Amino acid sequence: MKVVCIFELAGTKGKLFAAQFEGEEKDEKGKVQNAFSKLRAEWKDPTWFRSFFTEFRQDYFNFYGSAKLNSIVKEALDFADDLFEELADHVISGDLESLFKPLENSEKDQIYELQKLKVKGEERKSYLRLYAVRFRDEFVITGGTVKLTRFMKDRPHTKLEIIRLEAAVEFLRQNDIEGKVVYIEK
């Protein structure tokens, strides 16, 4: 695993990182994708959402009620655009702290090193999630998912995000030397 800088604005505290896991797919330029670039590519693709919601349609219906597949896909694309725009706004303002919330709701009043975090869309029913780990004053995005069940352990794609969070925590713990990640690629 590597940690790569995905946003850095000169003259600001706006800095955001993403995990780059071994074995990830390559983008159209042949470059290995980091967790953020992979997620962004998926969530801009209506075909990806169509495939996802075809497979997990019943989960959507159970949580949000019946809807046409085309409407669900359009809604998801809109939610994704809003979420990425909100993330960019918080990077620019240097206020990522207010965007990232503890993964565990029971930790809502706690802040600690290597804490697992989530970002949800502003819409009440947004099912899109970004996941990250707090590292010093920075955040390392580990991935994201469409969460349509109450618990992450209930579906393979959400379980995978738990595994990625754990892997990032362990990587950062093992590679933290005097407060610096050993390998950060720009």
**pLDDT tens-digit profile of 2-46?**
777 766 655 555 578 899 888 776 667 777 688 999 999 999 999
pLDDT, greater one: 25 or 186:
25
pLDDT, greater one: 12 or 184:
12
Give 79-123 pLDDT, tens digit per residue.
999 999 999 898 888 888 899 999 998 888 888 889 999 999 887
- 145 pLDDT above the threshold of 50: yes
Instruction: Report the distance separating Cα 169 and Cα 116, nearest Å.
Output: 8
Average pLDDT (35-58) is 95
pLDDT on residue 2 = 75
Which residue's entry shows tokens 């997620």? Answer: 39
**What is the C-alpha end-to-end distance of the chain, expressed in Å?**
15
156: which strand partners? none
Which residue's entry shows tokens 């090193």? Answer: 113
- 182 pLDDT above the threshold of 60: no
111: phi > 0 → left, psi -120 to 50 → alpha, else beta; which?
beta
Cβ count within 10 A of residue 63: 13
pLDDT on residue 51 = 97
Long-range contacts of 133-139 (CB under 8 A, 24+ apart): 133/165, 133/168, 133/169, 133/172, 134/100, 135/17, 135/172, 135/176, 135/181, 136/179, 137/13, 138/15, 138/16, 138/17, 139/16, 139/17, 139/96, 139/100
| Lowest pLDDT segment from 19-33, 49-63, 131-145 | 19-33
pLDDT on residue 14 = 56
